[in-house]
Amino acid sequence: MTYYNNLLTFYKERWYATRPQTSIKSIGQQGRRSRGLKNLKRQISQWIKTNATSEHYQDPVAQKQLKNLIITFMDQSLDVPPWVCELLDQEAYYTTTEAFIKRVHLEAPDMVFEDIVQALRNLWVLISLQLYMDCPLQLTNPIYGYSMLYPLTDNYLDNPSISIEDKRAFNQRFYQKIAHGKIKPCNTHEAQIFHMIDLIHETYPREAYPEVTNSLLAILDAQNKSLNQQDLSNLYEVDLLAQTFYKGGTSVLADAYLINGQLTENQAQFAYGYGVILQLADDLQDLENDLHDHHSTMMTTQGTYKTLDDLTKKYLAFIDDFFNDLYVSNSKKQAALKQLLMVSVELLLFSATNQQTDHYSKHYIKAYNKKSRFNKKSFNFLNNRLIQQIKTRL
């Protein structure tokens, strides 16, 4: 585990050395961008009504219409140039997503919409890693299997009605399955989880690709350690920063190993750092749920005793440091991905911040929203009728 400890130490030191932003950056032209967001909602709603059946959806003309809508919006409202969108299209970004959804419907027809979206979030991380590593975009068995593990295992481990003892027992069986493969599942749900591990190791046998197995064991170790964050009696029992970074970093590092079985030093560093960024955003989004479930994170601890203003300022500076100093843009794919990821993280944090306004000062939220890309009202289209329309398609 020395390798993983070195990555953890590296990013902890970067965090401690990061100075919080002194002022909030202004994206500018919020009114125009918000109108573009509302217009996109209207146009996509109309497109869904027009293409009501799967046959219509598969029509090349209809697909081109939808892509043109998205490309125009990304260019005019997200500042992502058309060449980036075209490159993503050429690299099968959209068709890989579609292939994943079709496979889920075929192999797990009872999976609910929210779980499909959770699996898709990991798929999109894997697609990003394929671009960064200059690999062809494709839906392999390991990519499918690992993405499916997120809803299949996370929802179990995050379920407050299941005892810590039962969760630890499951993790012990899960460890044996990953490390050795020879263990029988206790129930149908566990059998489904174990099948996903088999899909990974059919492509990456344990003996030939030890780092793939080690990366899976590392994220399981991180999940095990996160159980220690439940019902803390005092703040000194667990190093929350270390645990947060370890869980996020190892999660995306495992993603990266599943692409071709091995990584360069830069690829590992990128994957780990990107995982840390996503984990902090996830913890911010889940703050209220974690408080309710007595699960301690950096966000719940800060949000309980103080506003999140200072922590968020440091987090924003940490994100800038990652993209400006650590992200390598030697290829056209990497340059395109950088623009896409920067906007994606920005919007993810905007959504998470506005879900937790009670944990910020009124002054900070007012300034943050005033300088953001979209106003809160227009951005909330994701939670209304459009998301329901998309839900019926998945």
Q: CA-to-CA distance for 367 and 376, rounded, in angstroms?
A: 12
Q: How many CB atoms lie within 10 A of CB 166?
A: 12
The backbone torsions φ and ψ at residue 318, rounded to the nearest 5 degrees and listed phi first, read -65, -40
Residue 253: the pLDDT is: 95
Per-run averaged pLDDT (10 residues), the chain, 394 residues: 87 95 81 84 78 64 80 83 81 82 90 87 91 90 94 78 83 91 86 93 95 93 79 69 94 94 94 96 92 87 90 95 92 90 91 93 93 83 54 51
Q: Where are the domains of the chain?
A: 2-15+32-393
Task: Specify the pLDDT at position 195.
Answer: 94
**Would you tell me how many other CB atoms lie within 10 Å of the CB of residue 230?**
15
Return the bridge partners of 174, or none.
Answer: none
Please give the pLDDT value at position 350: 92
| Predicted local confidence at residue 78, as pLDDT | 84
Cβ contacts of 43 within 8 Å, gap of 6 or more: 69
What is the distance between the alpha carbons of residues 114 and 105, in angstroms, rounded to a whole number?
14
pLDDT of residue 382: 52
- Kindly report each contact of residues 17-23 with a partner whose C-beta sits within 8 Å and lies 24 or more positions away, as own/partner: 18/314, 18/317, 18/318, 18/321, 19/314, 19/317, 20/310, 20/313, 20/314, 20/316, 20/317, 21/313, 21/314, 21/316, 21/317, 21/320, 22/313
Q: Are 302 and 10 in contact (CB under 8 A)?
A: no
Q: What is the pLDDT of residue 145?
A: 95
Is residue 269 within 8 Å of residue 322, measured between CB atoms?
no
Distance, CA of 171 to CA of 107 (rounded, Å): 24
CATH number given to 2-15+32-393: 1.10.600
